[in-house]
Structure 1
């Protein structure tokens, strides 16, 4: 396979802004010269993820992982290094050049990059057919504007398309002319293969692109129209999605999140959760650009995690007013409570969906719904007991237990207390009684875990570890690091201690003149663990009084070395009395160091 030229990689690393890239996945807030946010790798409530734009790296204290913009993208999108470079090059408009190798220069290097290109070409093809001056083009535009009551401007802005009902192989032939590989045609999810031909999965349907967080098309939702051929086995399905592919996992993708996240600040840091893609687009048309939707399935934990990464102030559920919409809302409740998200429900009249409501009432009507938003326990009680009347105290008690099950999903005692106050008010039961019942109901949490989430214990190290401090001096304080390296005897380093291998490698390179203090040690970092140590050190503040610290570290290293020597000689004296003189010399040196 061709290798991406080093000049291209260097240009990508120069242009790629790590804050811009990370902000796609994490809501970052400035903290001095750095940015801070919740870890994208672990679930946490206190931000421990830091991005340093000056040094162009990140470090996550909850997972002890660090890296640059490329390794971050590798981690988040499960990409190889070349795939991450290709994605960054596309985002920051860097032309990719390949070294001439066993395959043609400039040939697409990775399957994922090729699949993204397939979807871009397919999107353009669908858009062309939507806008075509043909009978089918006229039909689909009338369907869009008259039956669905959307504007053509909205269709153009979001690249709405049409999959023609005619020749079932036409899209496949079009893409084959673009020289896409057999593997890409198989994996893109747009076709069935039959007798050597690529048969379109979507025919006679309105095509809605689904995009990833970078805004690249990765799949489609296809809405049924009367043009779906009778021979199509999925003809009766109102909506069909692309199957899961290397680019698209529907349970881990939220429709419209790439659009909504960029409007979050203008919408009071609130996400609007709707049921379907066209509901979301209706919201966007009405200026409600914070709307997102799951991919035709119940909301998943992974999708909730996606929303949480942007630290929204609230989540507003804008679901159908029918029984199905109420059930969907009740399923969402425990997921959001568990993740500590502040959830509210917008009360639609029975039988009305968001699309119909917004067409009739618009943004003014929506603002009225927000003013009447329903908190979670009230929504749950309305769902469990729509009439609000209980036939007996036992029935009320059983309903209370179901509400307790929701309350217990929260790991915050403050939040639980607030929910119990709501339950007391809603059930018209004395709050003390509610709290007593909840105390009896609450499941035991089990013995306290001995696991400590601090980065120091996760790594099995202490920040005062002398090897770590020496590394900090060399990497953070070039003005004293060179002096430390010259004075430090390599024998002083305990090879069994943490970071000893990395420290020895750096010291040897310094003493041999291969590496200079102050340069980046990228080529010296042999393992992921060593790279993480480097990024961790660079995320720390500079040491106080580094010259004094360096003298202290050198003294500790020499003292520990002499102690090890002393112990070794003591064990030898019984067999070799001649070692007594060496023992006295080591004791003398130890006394001098005290």
Structure 2
């Protein structure tokens, strides 16, 4: 069990913008940072990070919290996993107390699979470097490929021995359970005896963006025609090949920094490029490119350069992925290598400077690429040329941005020597067809909304108004609770003629103290259970600590409060996100009117509650009884509401 001292050190050291910056490309927006949501598919930034507050808010999904919450949400870590991850990132030594048997039993399945996978990575790597078989076969192979010791370490390359159950026996001997060896695909269980899936292969660990081992790719080195050249881990609870890119862990920082990602096919392509000094490269690992893989890159950059082998047949099979990239609203270029070369072989024999120059000089936009690829086939055949042009327009139709579509139409017209008007007309037909298909699907999925009338409309009204007022009280405690402000105490007195009038006295209070006393005075308890719990938690924090540190409070924020609290704290950042001031619209921020905000909210809540009392008294009036007393009470309470109305400058129709 991780000690509290270690957890506190992690919280105090971790910078939310640094933690999230490893996963999301962030751009400065005033004192904050913004970027694309990593939790939803979007093209306009709705993800905001506030370094000053130490929190983040995703306005598209509603999620939010501190740096720990982000790692837990993004990487699906447990709380201890997130602490360990950040401790490794910031080189913080983890102090632990011994786990109880109950705590060990509660370790979940996913964590057990991660632990097995991490053990396997270390075992294969150690076998490669330390065993005679590993050095003679596996290490020799990697050296022949030109990989240095530093590269082998960087990618944790390994070797699985030729013996049928070498790894499985080692893992079982170390106490790892067979069920997790099997569920990760490392071991194939048979009735007679279990055996290793990757026997006699060099091993490539496949890691998540945070560095967790998800699965493996293994390459056989013998000429066994019955065995697959490359073998990947099967789909599992932690490994989904359509959502993973090989090398993303090593490439993420370089991709974000250079604002471009090179996309290749194989493991060795990635490794060779890295060794050549180009680190912003990932691989689809031989699988067809998927939208999930593209979105993984989209979190870091909008620009992809797809690198293809010189093989023409392979090129035609690979261009389908380009349309998927365009559909995600990303910018795509294509670079091909000379015949007989692939990224691995070309990078191996080319210096860093020459490789960089080649990529810059030979990267084409997709229109030029498709034209150069298929034009030779079309030659003077008008039918084939028409098909080629139609294929190019189909790709253009996938682009969401209308301005980009028009520019590419102009480019296509110039390259293919065809009327721009014809291309525009064809594009319009394709876009309309796609729109109709989307509409048809939405119609099939459409379910008519049921209009449910509330049995008691007053109850619905009560929930809505109280929610807004109580939420505002929590907001003020979080934002200004420890600030001292001048408030007007309104003392209601009866004059000689029996009329209610108010006398104003000014006095300084801590904001939290003012709110707490006002609610206590009126014997008011917040109706919303979540707000009530947050209110009590905040008031206890204020009363028990000398000074309020929002950062310290958020560090240890209870998980059940996190989403609501971060939503409140990032409300002003929503205004920044939309850049209203850039459009000459100047929103009024809460900090400009703290005292007024607090006073108005308290008065409005009182006004609302008095209004409810009046309604209750009215409902008790009957024609059979003496109504003098209730009518007097109503008159007095109406006097209060008049005083509130005068103070607030509002009319009764507010409610």
Instruction: Give the TM-score, by structure 2 length.
Output: 0.77
What residue number does 1:457 align with? none
User: How do residues 516-527 of structure 1 correspond to structure 2 at under 5 angstroms?
Assistant: 518=548
What residue number does 1:299 align with? 289
- CA gap of 1:197–1:30, structure 2 versus 1, over 3 A, is farther
Instruction: Give the TM-score, by structure 1 length.
Output: 0.84
Whether the 8 Å CA contact 2:118–2:213 is kept in 1: the answer is yes
Deviates most, 511-520 or 25-34: 511-520
Q: Judging by fraction of residues, say which structure has more helix.
A: 2
What residue number does 2:367 align with? 377
Deviations 1:123-179 (A, max 9, x none): 333233333473663243433333x344454334433222221x2222222222322
Alignment partner of 1:589 is 2:640: yes
What residue number does 1:453 align with? none
Alignment partner of 1:472 is 2:499: no
Q: 2:606 aligns with which of 529, 535, 558?
A: 558
CA distance in 1, matches of 2:26, 2:57: 13
CA distance in 1, matches of 2:277, 2:558: 51
| Residue 29 of structure 1: how far off its partner (Å) | 2.8
What residue number does 2:211 align with? 215
Q: 2:393 aligns with which of 404, 408, 415?
A: 404
Deviations 1:5-30 (A, max 9, x none): 54454444344443333222211233
CA distance in 2, matches of 1:573, 1:592: 25
In the alignment, structure 2 segments of 5+ residues that lack a partner are 444-462, 484-510, 573-589, 647-655
CA distance in 2, matches of 1:102, 1:172: 25
Q: 2:514 aligns with which of 475, 483, 502?
A: 483
CA distance in 2, matches of 1:407, 1:5: 56
| Residue 294 of structure 1: how far off its partner (Å) | 1.0
Once superposed, what is the RMSD of the aligned Cα atoms? 3.7
- CA gap of 1:118–1:90, structure 2 versus 1, over 3 A, is farther
| Residue 388 of structure 1: how far off its partner (Å) | 4.7
Aligned length: 568
CA distance in 1, matches of 2:105, 2:541: 41
What residue number does 2:16 align with? 18
Which structure has the larger Rg over C-alpha atoms? 2
Deviations 1:493-520 (A, max 9, x none): 7978xxx444444556678999569476
Deviations 1:87-120 (A, max 9, x none): 44454544252465335x8899454444444334
What residue number does 2:185 align with? 189
| Residue 476 of structure 1: how far off its partner (Å) | 0.7
Whether the 8 Å CA contact 1:474–1:482 is kept in 2: the answer is no
What residue number does 2:448 align with? none
Whether the 8 Å CA contact 1:315–1:343 is kept in 2: the answer is yes
What residue number does 2:68 align with? 70
Whether the 8 Å CA contact 2:393–2:426 is kept in 1: the answer is no
What residue number does 2:117 align with? 119
What residue number does 1:278 align with? 268
- CA gap of 1:365–1:388, structure 2 versus 1, over 3 A, is farther
User: How do residues 345-360 of structure 1 correspond to structure 2 at under 5 angstroms?
Assistant: 345-360=334-349
Alignment partner of 1:317 is 2:306: yes
| Residue 324 of structure 1: how far off its partner (Å) | 4.4
Whether the 8 Å CA contact 1:569–1:583 is kept in 2: the answer is yes
Secondary structure of the 1:544 match is: helix
Q: 2:565 aligns with which of 509, 534, 546?
A: 534
Deviations 1:283-322 (A, max 9, x none): 112222111101220111111011000124x211111122
CA distance in 2, matches of 1:523, 1:315: 37
- CA gap of 1:474–1:513, structure 2 versus 1, over 3 A, is closer
Alignment partner of 1:327 is 2:316: yes
User: How do residues 127-276 of structure 1 correspond to structure 2 at under 5 angstroms?
Assistant: 127-132=125-130, 134=132, 137-146=135-144, 148-165=145-162, 167-195=163-191, 197-226=193-222, 235-264=226-255, 268-276=258-266
- CA gap of 1:320–1:67, structure 2 versus 1, over 3 A, is same
- CA gap of 1:67–1:196, structure 2 versus 1, over 3 A, is farther
| Residue 534 of structure 1: how far off its partner (Å) | 0.6
